[in-house]
Amino acid sequence: MRFDSPPPVADPAPRRQAACVESSVASQSPRLRLPDQSVDGASSYQDRLPARTLCPANLWSQSASRTQTFRRELETGQTLDYQPRSGVPSKKNARDRLIAYCSPRPDWAIGYLDEVWWSRFALPQAHAWQDEEDPLRLIEQQWQKDDPDPKALACYGVLWHRDDPCIPLREQMWLRFVDGRPVSAITTQFLDWCCVRLKERQVPVLLLVWDNASWHLSRAVRTWIGQHNRQVKQERKGVRILPCFLPTKSPWLNPIEPKWVHGKRAIIEPAQLLTAQEVAERVCGYFGCEHEAHLSIPDQAA
């Protein structure tokens, strides 16, 4: 005997829900129902957008002109990249004008002044030819507590400029070592010593080129130079000082800087610690000047 199962009957619940939704939507007021809207804003809302909101017609021409302008600026910069920048034109041009003004006068003096520290322990960067069997090695020395000499010596120096400014002769140097560090009182002593020696050579004017160190710009140094120049003008004898300051952070404008580098490489001792006296004598011997007494501040002034 076989029993046939009755045909499946669909669940009427989804149909009832859909009918309820349709009846609720149909019963809503036309004011609450949103009308059909187009998703293309250019066709439906073009008249509602503010003026010039869309892409202007000359956008590509403006972009092309700006690109050409940037390209011209880049080409100009690349064409002039080998020339020095215009970061320090005023003071550098003032220095060059003063040197060109003083050079034709043979009785005037042009000096580049600077200070440097000569260390007994620091080793400069140097290159030298050496033998493979006996190589040259720099041995770093250690400071001992019983060492009476200072670790480094401060020194004032002035490099003299002669002949034509285009092909100058800058070989002669004057040096004075310092007991301590460079300060305004020591600077005035060095300037007075230079003026005394220049007076013996009958030099009326000294063009002094130096940097913006604090012991150069101090009120004491400026006051001393002013009083010195007034005294020279009243007595009509002596050496007048004409200071010329270099731009800030521009040591390459002072030709005495390479002299210090070569001097430190020349006086180096590979495997021996030099005393302060030996360092001073080697420095003076390298630059061809006399070893004068060290400058110092009197105890009362200090």
Q: What is the pLDDT of residues 192-229, one digit of tens each?
A: 999 999 999 999 999 999 999 999 999 999 999 999 99
For the segment 95-101, the average pLDDT, to the nearest whole number, is 78
DSSP label of 136: -
Query: What pLDDT score does 302 carry?
Result: 46
C-alpha–C-alpha distance, residues 95 and 168, integer Å: 14
- The CATH number that applies at residue 217 is 3.30.420.10
238: left (phi over 0), alpha (psi -120 to 50) or beta: left
For the segment 183-187, the average pLDDT, to the nearest whole number, is 95
For the segment 57-82, the average pLDDT, to the nearest whole number, is 61
- pLDDT band of 81, cuts 50, 70, 90: low
pLDDT higher than threshold 60 for residue 57:
no
| Residue 81 in domain | no
Q: What percent of the chain has pLDDT over 90?
A: 38
Q: What are phi and psi of 60, to 5 degrees?
A: -70, -35
| Residue 293 in domain | no
And the tokens for 182?
């460079």
| Residue 240 in domain | yes
Query: What is the pTM (predicted TM-score) of this model?
Result: 0.65
Of 231, 215, 197, give the one whose Cα is nearest residue 113: 215
| Residue 132 in domain | no
The residue ranking higher by pLDDT, 262 or 5, is: 262
Average pLDDT, the chain: 77
| Residue 153 in domain | yes
Query: What pLDDT score does 161 carry?
Result: 86
Structural domain containing residue 112: 97-126+147-287
pLDDT higher than threshold 60 for residue 47:
no
| Residue 4 in domain | no
And the tokens for 14?
């989804």
Query: What pLDDT score does 101 carry?
Result: 78
C-alpha–C-alpha distance, residues 224 and 131, integer Å: 55
C-alpha–C-alpha distance, residues 242 and 205, integer Å: 7
- pLDDT band of 65, cuts 50, 70, 90: low
Query: What pLDDT score does 45 carry?
Result: 47
Strand partners, 242: 207
- pLDDT band of 235, cuts 50, 70, 90: very high
Of 180, 188, 274, 173, give the one whose Cα is nearest residue 224: 188
Query: What pLDDT score does 58 carry?
Result: 54
Number of domains making up the chain: 1
Query: What pLDDT score does 80 carry?
Result: 59
For the segment 271-290, the average pLDDT, to the nearest whole number, is 90
For the segment 58-69, the average pLDDT, to the nearest whole number, is 59
| Residue 53 in domain | no
- pLDDT band of 164, cuts 50, 70, 90: low
DSSP label of 1: -
C-alpha–C-alpha distance, residues 165 and 169, integer Å: 9
And the tokens for 135?
């190589």
For the segment 106-120, the average pLDDT, to the nearest whole number, is 91
| Residue 274 in domain | yes
Query: What pLDDT score does 29 carry?
Result: 53
Query: What pLDDT score does 44 carry?
Result: 47
- pLDDT band of 88, cuts 50, 70, 90: very low
